[in-house]
Amino acid sequence: MSFTSNGCSRRQFLKTTGAAGLGLLASSAAADFLSAQEPPLVPTRPFGKTGANVAILSMGGMFDILNNQLMLRQAVKWGVTYWDTANSYEGGNSEPGIGKYFAKYPEDRGKIFLVTKSTAWTLTGMTEHLNLSLERMRTDYIDLFFVHAVRIRSIPIRSIDSMDKDMQRWGEKAKAEGKIRFFGFSTHSNMEECLLAAANLGWIDGIMMTYNYRLMHTDAMRRAVDACAKAGIGLTAMKTQGGGQVLTNTPEELKLAGRFVQSGFTEGQARLKAVWENPQIASICSQMPSMALLSQNTAAAVNRARLSAGEREMLDQHAQASAAGYCAGCTGICEPALAASVPVGRVMRYLMYGRSYGNRDFASSRFQSLPAQTRAVMAQVDYTAAEQRCPQRMPIGRLMREAASELA
Ligand code: SF4
């Protein structure tokens, strides 16, 4: 598949995206990919036991899709045909952006594995969200519908225990009506416990969870992923860059980035490759708000070179050296140790959106959605006990105070 045969010449592509100025060719893997006359499509993998094969790179829907339709067009042409959105993304504008695309290119709907999520947390609310998602995206069905952000048992709201018989029946009814093909949930915190519980339920088709080079080698995560793979649950990794809350830019980090570029790919591409090396992971969901990032990640997906033992070691060393700057989402450890109710894991995630992803507006809007009382107390709480328990040894108190002022 060449640019020209797709109706988008290389010159048009670069002109439209300003790609050269955005560092599009930041790796030789990307340069090889973009210069190929017939670049290969992104490979696919089976999604658990669903029978569906999905692209190993999934396009995250947290960007202004309404005004960046070329991104979706190019994604289809490169085989990035797994699209992930949510009722709430982009203030509710992500789904209409996808709907705008399908209105223009209805023939592409059948090529896309379409995922969306509901934060309703009541069965009636989920039905309303599902119907709204179908209407917004101008489609008759969703391939995979997620209950969004399932958590640990000790935090009752959105607990994994909410995935009960009633929820199972809701999913079966939606399937019988032809509105969804598969049903599952996403999870950003205490992922290991949520995955283990899901493996025992017997009716979860798919899960999207935080999973990256920092977390994938822990015993708890290995056990959880193994259990899901045995249960035939399709797994999608997110937050795969392992972006931290404390940005350091140390000389060691710069050296690490330089070493990978010498290997032919960027450090970011190496982090994706590390996750793809586990065949139990069907796909990686990546936020790719620019053509530069879409092409870098697609180039990594089609590039068959494996990380060397030395490169895996470098990532591992980096993970260990920067552990205190990365929240592992184990909120069942730190949050119960506090005298007041502070959603440490969520605030850490918002800090990551602002600091690692550079998406300050989104981070602030998520932070502002926390109850006013929570925002008011979080800078005053004593975090000493939580810090003592934190396996990452994070400076929780300092980061909560910084978040309170930075994201307010
Ligand atoms: S702050 Fe520490 S204990 Fe709390 S969720 Fe993050 S890594 Fe886990």
pLDDT tens-digit map of 326-382 = 999 999 999 999 999 999 999 999 999 999 888 888 899 999 999 999 999 999 999
Which pair of tokens denotes residue 155?
């935090």
Phi, psi of 112 (to 5 degrees): -100, 135
Cα 387 to Cα 41, 50, 391, distances in angstroms: 46, 42, 9
The overall average pLDDT reported for the chain is 89
Is the distance from the beta carbon of residue 330 to the nearest atom of ligand 1 less than 6 Å? yes
For ligand 1, atom 1: residue with the closest CA: 327
Q: Which atom of ligand 1 is nearest to the CA of 386?
A: 3
Cα 44 to Cα 283, 298, 400, 405, distances in angstroms: 8, 12, 40, 44
CA 333 and chain centroid, separation: 23
Gap from CA of 288 to ligand 1 centroid (Å)? 27
Gap from CA of 349 to ligand 1 centroid (Å)? 11
pLDDT at 299 (0 to 100): 95
Is the distance from the beta carbon of residue 344 to the nearest atom of ligand 1 less than 6 Å? yes
Given ligand 1 and candidates 154, 327, 387, which is best to mutate, with the most ligand atoms within 8 Å of its CB? 327
Amino acid (one-letter) located at 281:
I
pLDDT at 247 (0 to 100): 66
Which pair of tokens denotes residue 1?
């598949």
Is the distance from the beta carbon of residue 152 to the nearest atom of ligand 1 less than 6 Å? no
For ligand 1, atom 3: residue with the closest CA: 390
End-to-end CA distance of the chain: 47
Is the distance from the beta carbon of residue 345 to the nearest atom of ligand 1 less than 6 Å? yes
What are 238-275's pLDDT values in tens digits? 999 988 787 666 677 777 777 776 777 888 999 999 99
Gap from CA of 395 to ligand 1 centroid (Å)? 10
Cβ-Cβ contacts under 8 Å for 365 (sequence gap 6 or more)? 91
pLDDT at 24 (0 to 100): 42
Q: Which atom of ligand 1 is nearest to the CA of 329?
A: 5
Burial group, residue 364, by CB count within 10 angstroms (0-12, 13-18, 19+)? middle
332: left (phi over 0), alpha (psi -120 to 50) or beta: alpha
Gap from CA of 331 to ligand 1 centroid (Å)? 6
Gap from CA of 324 to ligand 1 centroid (Å)? 10
pLDDT at 304 (0 to 100): 86
Is the distance from the beta carbon of residue 325 to the nearest atom of ligand 1 less than 6 Å? no
Given ligand 1 and candidates 331, 383, 384, 398, which is best to mutate, with the most ligand atoms within 8 Å of its CB? 331
Is the distance from CB of 144 to CB of 115 less than 8 angstroms?
A: yes
Distance between CA atoms of residues 390 and 338, nearest Å: 12
pLDDT at 174 (0 to 100): 98
Q: Is the pLDDT of residue 158 over 80?
A: no
Given ligand 1 and candidates 194, 347, 350, 390, which is best to mutate, with the most ligand atoms within 8 Å of its CB? 390
Give percent above pLDDT 90 in the chain.
72
